Amino acid sequence: MAEKWRQAIGKIRKGLAIKNAEDNGPTKKDQASSDTLFDGEQPTLEEIRSWGKSFDKLMRSPSGRKAFREFLRCEYSEENILFWLACEELKKETNPEAIEEKARFIYEDYISILSPKEVSLDSRVREIVNRNMVEPTPHTFDEAQLQIYTLMHRDSYPRFINSPQFKTLAQIPDGVSASGSTAESPSN
Amino acid sequence: MLLIDCFRRPSHELQARKKQSSKEVVQMRKLYRDPVKVLLLGAGESGKTTIIKQMRILHIQNSYSFDERLEKLSDIYENIHESIYELVRQVVLLELEFDSIANQRCAEYILRMGPQAPWNLSAEYVRCVRRLWSDAGVKRCYKRSNEFQLIDSAKYFLDRVEKISMPGYIPTNGDILNCRKTTTGIQEVRFNVRMPGSLGGGTQEFRMFDVGGQRHHRSKWMQAFEGVQAVLFLISCGGFDQTLREDPKQNRLAEGFELFRGVWHNRFLAETGVIVFMNKQDVLEQKLLAGQSIRTYFPDYDDYVAFADKDQLYDELTRTRSFIRSKLVDITNEPPRRTSHLVGRKRTCYFHFTIATDTQNVRTVFNDVHNIILTKNLSKMDLL
């Protein structure tokens, strides 16, 4: 019985081109049948499931961010993750001229009220950003980035891990909670 | 909850569906049994997502599973912490004083935690929150909460912090309904509603769309306009003395009026039924009982009262409600901005006084909404 189950799981996994942690890297055959969602490095099933347990883990994983971004596009809130990613890029920048330019682009794309991709900031954070823009640094958007991170974490993320899309990826049957909250009931 | 399932549908298929749907809509309306598409619109914190939650409670069996309820705990902790943190911060900013040194220490403890909510409610945390919530300085601050941004559910959760912190606590429907969380993007929820026996019984599928309400989200609303049979427009009557989170210079109720004008006169919604939920009647009532008046923010209230029918509008709450409604009715009577083939056609706008967190109230109002949609669809069949 256990063997049969393992085989069945293996088949499904192949179909999704998700490899086990203990498996070797994806073979050519695997890549040919690869789900279009992930190109390049394939996440392990274990990794995918860890996305359901922690938003930080999801956002730290490139393929996790990709899956989440696809989901946000469906809900018309992709600008949130795009803004977050742009801020991450800015934080890596060391050249002062490039910092200034990147900061302006981020401002025009995601902060300016004229932008169709404007993100949801309260007036307090908006003021901080406006003040910082006088002399942009790699950390000009830190408060705004945190606010958007929290927004995605609290609003979009719970829907993501309960979505059929994520459940398929993580091979969790319908009706079962992806966050595994039963395991940590508050009576413990 | 079902989501917009666009992962699986190839984009060319979506395009084809778009083209087809305008033709389909005509046929669909003849068949009133087909899914009813309803769009929830309104400014931020007007109660759109709360209506979605009520639809789940009223029309979906086992609407919130045990697991889902537990998942809500972290949102509830966020609400508790956001409320007490902001109140304590404002006590300092408004130069109010705490009752005692001990309470002052509790305040420092909360402020040191920063805006991030704790993972669990420790005994020390709960003790501090309770002390502060009964502190006279914090109470004075709470009375002035229209001067800063405080969530409407602050009182609800701060009153219950001890109960909620008990081991094994499971959030109730009331907790879920009162729990505030900013919505981003557009989501869909589907449910079946029982049809009246006079129309042969059975059930009818509803697809309700929830959107983010803050200003910048509004450009996205158009994405959900197609094939919509009814717009439920929410306006927070309790927000008459508050300003917007995204713009501290704009009055929330005034923003609601502006937004309603935009929705009512939107040419893509010209044939869509509009039902207005004049929401947060409970908050409005509390504020009026506390001695506040809409007159401070809308000076034309005095003119309205001067000409009002004294027999019908006998108390302040009734007068205030009617005043807000009359402002909305005035908007529906304004000439349309663009000339179109619809000029001259009489459109009816329906108004309801609502408390979105009250399941009984929403049940009654939703029955009316369902009837309006059914009647409208039936009369359209005759028109076409």
Q: Which residue has the higher pLDDT, B9 or B235?
A: B235
B300 belongs to the catalytic site: no
Map tokens 């919505």 to a residue: B183
CA atoms within 13 A on the CB side of B28: 15
Q: Are B235 and B328 in contact (CB under 8 A)?
A: yes
**Entry pTM:** 0.79
User: What share of chain B has pLDDT > 90, as a percent?
Assistant: 66
Which chain B residues are within 8 Å of A84, Cβ to Cβ? Answer: none
- Of the candidates B5, B70, B215, which has its C-beta nearest A181's C-beta? B70
Cα(A41)–Cα(B238) distance, integer angstroms: 52
| pLDDT value for A187 | 37
Average pLDDT of every residue of chain A: 79
Cα(B107)–Cα(B101) distance, integer angstroms: 10
Angle, CA B167 vertex, CA B163 and CA B170 arms, to 5°: 65
Cα dihedral A125, A126, A132, A136 in deg (nearest 10): 110
Cβ contact, residue pair A177, B214, below 8 Å? no
| pLDDT value for B29 | 44
B116 vs A176, B75, B113, B159, CA distance in Å? 29, 12, 7, 20
Given the residues B29, B56, B180, B321, select the one marked as catalytic.
Answer: B180
| pLDDT value for B216 | 76
Q: Provide mean pLDDT across the span A149-171.
A: 93
| pLDDT value for B176 | 97
State pLDDT tens for residues B63-85.
899 999 999 999 999 999 999 99
Enumerate the domain spans of chain B.
35-63+183-338+346-369, 66-178
Average pLDDT of every residue of chain B: 87
State pLDDT tens for residues B302-348.
999 988 877 778 899 999 999 999 999 999 998 876 655 555 567 88
B345 touches chain A (CB under 8 A): no
Label residue B194 by pLDDT band (50, 70, 90).
confident
Cβ contact, residue pair A75, B5, below 8 Å? no
On the 0-12 / 13-18 / 19+ scale of CB atoms within 10 A, B261 is middle
Which helix (H) or strand (E) segment holds residue A161: the answer is: helix A157-161
DSSP letter for each residue of B230-246: EEEEEEEGGGGG-B-SS
- Which class in CATH covers the domain with range A45-170? mainly alpha
Map tokens 């502190």 to a residue: B135
Q: Pick from B113, B328, B178, B152: which is nearest to B245 by CA?
A: B152
Enumerate the domain spans of chain A.
45-170
State which CATH number among 1.10.10.410, 1.10.400.10, 3.10.150.10, 3.30.479.30 fits the domain covering B66-178.
Answer: 1.10.400.10
Tell me which of A122-131, A173-182, B363-372 is least confident: A173-182
pLDDT at A5 over 70: no
Label residue B61 by pLDDT band (50, 70, 90).
confident
Label residue A82 by pLDDT band (50, 70, 90).
very high
On the 0-12 / 13-18 / 19+ scale of CB atoms within 10 A, B358 is middle
Given the residues B104, B149, B214, B332, select the one marked as catalytic.
Answer: B214
pLDDT at B296 over 70: yes
Which chain A residues are within 8 Å of B69, Cβ to Cβ? Answer: none
Tell me which of A21-25, A90-94, A149-153, B87-91 is least confident: A21-25
pLDDT at B12 over 80: no
Cα(B376)–Cα(B207) distance, integer angstroms: 17
What ipTM did this prediction achieve? 0.71
| pLDDT value for B310 | 77
Chain B: give the shortest CA distance to residue A76, in Å: 5
Chain B: give the shortest CA distance to residue A37, in Å: 10
State pLDDT tens for residues B162-183.
999 999 999 999 999 999 999 9
Angle, CA B276 vertex, CA B275 and CA B279 arms, to 5°: 140
CATH code assigned to B35-63+183-338+346-369: 3.40.50.300
State pLDDT tens for residues A108-151.
999 987 788 899 898 889 999 999 999 999 999 999 999 999 99
pLDDT at A32 over 60: no
Q: Which two tokens stand for residue B119?
A: 């993972």
Q: Are A112 and A118 in contact (CB under 8 A)?
A: yes
Given the residues B210, B255, B292, B354, select the one marked as catalytic.
Answer: B210
- Name the range with the highest mean pLDDT among B6-10, B101-105, B268-272: B101-105
